[in-house]
Structures are given as structure tokens and as C-alpha cells.
Structure 1
Amino acid sequence: MSIKILADSACDLSKEHYNEYDIEMVSLTVHLDENEFADGREIKPKAIYDAMREEKSPKTSQVAPQSFKTIFTSYAESNQPLIYLALSSELSGTYQTAKMMEQEVKETYPDASIHVIDTKCVSIGLGLIVLRAAELAKDGASVDEIIETATYHAEHMEHIFTVDDLEYLYRGGRVSKTAAFVGTLLKIKPILHVENGKLVPLEKIRGSKKLLNRMLEIMEERGTDFTNQTIGISHGDDLETAEKYAEMFKDKFGAHDIVIEMVGSAIGSHAGPGTIAIFFLNKEYK
């Protein structure tokens, strides 16, 4: 029996990816204007960014426990192996909830082949891991082979990103009000990365041109063999800039396999419009 890959909506993959690789998806919840929406199903990211430009503050909540219990029970009953690749546990309680539901379901179905993996990744960084796992599942790899490769990619996935307005990170508790005010006043753009699953400030750059050049330098410093891996770019409703980055990656690094997606509603609610993030491996592709 084939192995099923489960992802949460924070991986920011498109419906085309889910359909092509037969990936199952579970949604985080987005709260806007006193309404609740299933991320990736019931609301478009553009609606979130437009709302934030109007100074609204969308909120998010983790995947509901019952959603995991229903999915895990279904696969346990059918005796089909399931691997869930989760959003970083440092950014959401979704992983912990999934682990609790895994244990609960296994009390009834002790032999169920259900595996919950904390990738410590987010957005297309997570999405690229999900795609690699789904490729392996489609090719008939074993559970152990898929988990080993997915874990390797997760451990070596770089996240380098910037936001257009520090105010959004302030609202999400990522920077102080003073830093957000001063940064906006001086037109300072932060470069951040993910370290052990947490969002960590890396550098502050003044000016958009310097920002782009510095992000390329960091990519060159940390990455390896860009011609033999998939590079991810996610953007907060700024496809033009994302495509400009992609062309520079092709020209500078010889990259040819690049996935561009909009940052989804859940992650975008914290990052804001104008976010640009790049994702790549810092070790050879496996």
C-alpha cells in the first residue's frame, strides 16, 4: 500500500502540487473581521494582504485536534502508512497537537503506521520538504527512507527572508515597538533567518538595492550546488520582486528549478505584504 504524505497549510504549496503528488493537507485557521477561515481552502492570501494594508490585524490559530484525530484514525483503520511533516514547533502548537492525537489514536490502533515529524521549517522551506517526501512516496520508497530524506532536507533547509514593514513583525511579537518605529523611519529592512525552528534577526540593511545584493551574498555563502536542487521563493503579494529574484538566481547561480508561491494566509498574517523569502539547501541535495 502506498505511503501518504500529510502537510499543513503553512507549507504554502499550491493546489496543483497537492493534486500532482496526491498530498493530503490540514488547515490552520485564519481569523479576520470576526470570521474564521480554513487557510488554503476558504480564503485567498491576497484578501489577507489587502486587509493588512487597510490596517486590519488578522490572527491565526493552530490546527484543531479533532482534524488530526479524524485523519489519523482514517489511516489507522485502513492500515495505510501516513507521514505528517509539520510546521516548526517553535512557531505553532500544531506539531504538539498532532503528537497528542497520534498517541491517542495509537492507544486504539497500536500498530498504526503514523509518523509525525517536526521539520522546524515554514512556508516554502517546509513545502520543498513535503514535495521531496511526496516524490519518494510516489516512487515507492519505504517509510524509513522517506523520513530519513525529509529529516535531512529539514536540517539543511535555509530560510532567508525580509519584510516590507517592521510593523507587522511588531504586531506578531517579533520585534519591539521602538525597533519597528525606528526601522520604518530610517527605511531599514531586516534580514531574518530560521535557526532551530525560530525566526531570528540576522542583519539590518538600509535601501532596497543593498538588500537584494546582500540576500544574494548570503545565499552564495550558505548554499551549495544550486543547479542540482529546487530553490523556493515565497512572496507577500509581490510576484514582480519574486520573479526578479528568480532571474538573478538563474543568471548568478545557474539555478533552473525554482518554485515561486505566495506566502499563504496563515504565515502572511504575521509577515505582511511585501515579504520576500528564499529557501535552499546548505548541503548537497539528497
Structure 2
Amino acid sequence: MKVTILADSACDLTETYYNALDIKMIPLTVHLQEKDYKDGIEITPKTVYDAMREGNSTKTSQVSMGAFRSMFMPYAEANKPLIYLAFSSELSGTYQTAKMIEQEIKETHPNAPIHIIDTKCASIGYGLVVLRAAKMAQEGASVKDIIEMATYHANHMEHIFTVDDLEYLYRGGRVSKTAAFVGTLLKIKPLLHVEDGKLVPLEKIRGSKKVLNRMLDLMEARGVDFENQTIGISHGDDLKRANELADMIKERFAPREIIVEMVGSVIGAHSGPGTLALFFLNNSYK
């Protein structure tokens, strides 16, 4: 029986991928100007970025218990295998909510083939894990093999990113108000990465061009076998800079494929316009 792959909207994949690979998506919620919107369905990232540029505050919330219950129950009742690859538990409570509903459903359907994996990933880094799992599902792979490969890819997915304005990270509690002010004044661009699902500051660099070169240096130091990899790039409404980074990567590493997408509404609501993120499998990849 074919395995169904479920992702949430924080994977930042577009409808094209969902349709082509039969991926199910469950949305987080974006709160903007006193209204709630289902991420990826009722609001676009562009709308969020434009609102942020105009000074509007945005908030987000995890997937509801009811939404997970409605998604999981048909698979439990039909005894059809479902693998939910979840947004990092360190960045959202969505994974924990899904686990609660899984336990609830298994009280009445103890053999329900529902499997929930904390990817510890975000944005297109998370999306690359989902795509790999979905392709395996289409090829008829078993639940065990899909979980094994998805877990491996999730554990070895590098996230290296920068933001255009430290103010948004300050609002999200990632940097102090003083650091945000000084950084903006001195045009300092922070580089961050993800460790065990958490956002962790890496370096501070002055100047946008230097940031791109440093991202490639880190890619060279941490990754390997790029000609056999799909590289991910996501951006906060800055396609020009994302394409510039993609061109630099093509010239230096000649990867098999590069996917460029916009940082979605939920993650973008915290990172802000101008965010640029790079994703690849690190040097433990074989």
C-alpha cells in the first residue's frame, strides 16, 4: 500500500510540489492586522513581507489539535500508512500537538499506521527532506525505508542563513535590542545556522557581498558530493539575491539541482524581508 507523506506549511514548498508528488499539507496560521490566515492557502509570503515593510506586526500559531485529528483519523480508520514529517519542535509546538493527537487516536485505533517524525528542520531545508520522502513513496518504498532515509537527511541538513534587518530577530527574541540597533547602524549581517533544531548565531559579517562569499565558504567546509545533491535556497522576497547566490553555487560546486523558493509566511513573519537561507547535506552525507 502506497505511503502518504504529510508536511506542514513551514516546509515552504509550493503547490506545484504538492501536486506533482502527491504530498499532503497542513497549514500553520498567520495573524496579520487582526485576522487569521491559513499559511500557504489564504495568504502569500509577499503579502506578509509587504505588511512588515509597512510596520505591521505579524504573529503565527501552530497547527490546531482539530486539524490534526481531521487529517489523521481517515488514515487510522482505513489502516492506510501516513508519515508526517514535522517542522522543528524547537521552533514550533506543532510536532508536540501532532504527537498528542496520535496518542489519542491510537487509544481507539492502536494499530493505526501513523508515524510522526520531528525533522528538526525549517523552510526549504525541511522541504528537501519532504521531497526526498515523497519521491520514495511514489516509487513504492516501505514505511521503514522512507523513515530511515528521511531521518538521515533531516539529521544531516545544514541551514545557513542571514537576515536583512536585525530588528525582526530582536522582535522574535533572537538578539538584544542593543545588538539589533548597533548591527543595523554598522550594516552588520548576522550568519545563523541550526543546531538540533534551534536557531544559533554563527558569525557577524559587515557587507552583503561578503555574506554570500562566506556562505559558500561554509558550504565548502561542511558539505561534500555536491554534484549528487539538490541544494535549497529560500529568500524573503529577494529573488535577485537568491539567484545571485544560486549562480555562485553553480559556478563553484556544479550541484545536480538547485531549488529556489520564497521563505513562507510563517517563517518569514519572524525572519523578515531580505532573509536569505542556504540548505545542503553536510559532510557526513554518503
Q: Please state whether the residue corresponding to 2:119 is helix, strand or coil.
A: strand
Q: Distance in 1 between matches of 2:170 and 2:258?
A: 31
Match of 1:240, as an amino acid?
K
Partner of 2:175: 175
Match of 1:215, as an amino acid?
M
Cα deviations by residue, 1:249-271 (Å, 9 ceiling, x for unpaired): 11100113011100000000000
Match of 2:226, as an amino acid?
F
Match of 1:255, as an amino acid?
P
Partner of 2:133: 133
Task: Note the C-alpha offset of 1:210.
Answer: 1.1
Is the Cα contact below 8 Å between 1:234 and 1:262 reproduced in 2?
yes
Partner of 1:50: 50
Partner of 1:143: 143
Match of 2:22, as an amino acid?
D
Partner of 1:257: 257
Partner of 2:96: 96
Task: Determine if the alignment matches structure 1 residue 161 to structure 2 residue 161.
Answer: yes
Partner of 2:205: 205
Partner of 2:66: 66
Q: Distance in 1 between matches of 2:257 and 2:32?
A: 35
Cα deviations by residue, 1:82-126 (Å, 9 ceiling, x for unpaired): 000000000000000000000001111111000000010000000
Partner of 2:231: 231
Task: Note the C-alpha offset of 1:209.
Answer: 1.5
Partner of 1:23: 23
Match of 1:73, as an amino acid?
M
Q: Distance in 1 between matches of 2:195 and 2:186?
A: 27
Is the Cα contact below 8 Å between 2:119 and 2:151 reproduced in 1?
yes
Match of 2:277, as an amino acid?
A
Task: Note the C-alpha offset of 1:284.
Answer: 6.3
Structure 2: stretches of 5+ with no match in the other structure? none
Partner of 2:275: 275
Is the Cα contact below 8 Å between 1:8 and 1:87 reproduced in 2?
yes
Q: Distance in 2 between matches of 1:218 and 1:279?
A: 11
The count of corresponding residues between Structure 1 and Structure 2 is 286
Cα deviations by residue, 1:182-210 (Å, 9 ceiling, x for unpaired): 10011000000000100000000001111
Match of 2:16, as an amino acid?
E
Partner of 1:3: 3
Q: Please state whether the residue corresponding to 1:153 is helix, strand or coil.
A: helix
Q: Please state whether the residue corresponding to 1:111 is helix, strand or coil.
A: coil
Q: Distance in 1 between matches of 2:285 and 2:12?
A: 21
Q: Distance in 2 between matches of 1:144 and 1:243?
A: 37
Cα deviations by residue, 1:135-184 (Å, 9 ceiling, x for unpaired): 00000100000000000000000000000000000011111111101100
Is the Cα contact below 8 Å between 1:31 and 1:37 reproduced in 2?
yes
Match of 1:200, as an amino acid?
V
Partner of 1:220: 220
Q: Name whichever of 8-17 and 207-216 sits farther off.
A: 207-216
Match of 2:279, as an amino acid?
F
Alignment of 1:32-43 (within 5 A): 32-43=32-43
4+ aligned runs moved over 4 Å, structure 1: none
Partner of 1:247: 247
Q: Please state whether the residue corresponding to 1:40 is helix, strand or coil.
A: coil
Task: Note the C-alpha offset of 1:283.
Answer: 3.8
Is the Cα contact below 8 Å between 2:156 and 2:285 reproduced in 1?
no
Match of 1:64, as an amino acid?
S
Taking structure 2 as the reference length, what is the TM-score of the superposition? 0.99
Is the Cα contact below 8 Å between 1:231 and 1:257 reproduced in 2?
yes
Match of 2:13, as an amino acid?
L
Q: Distance in 1 between matches of 2:283 and 2:222?
A: 9
Aligned identity (percent) is 71
Taking structure 1 as the reference length, what is the TM-score of the superposition? 0.99
Structure 1: stretches of 5+ with no match in the other structure? none
Is the Cα contact below 8 Å between 1:9 and 1:39 reproduced in 2?
yes
Cα deviations by residue, 1:64-88 (Å, 9 ceiling, x for unpaired): 0111111110111111100000000
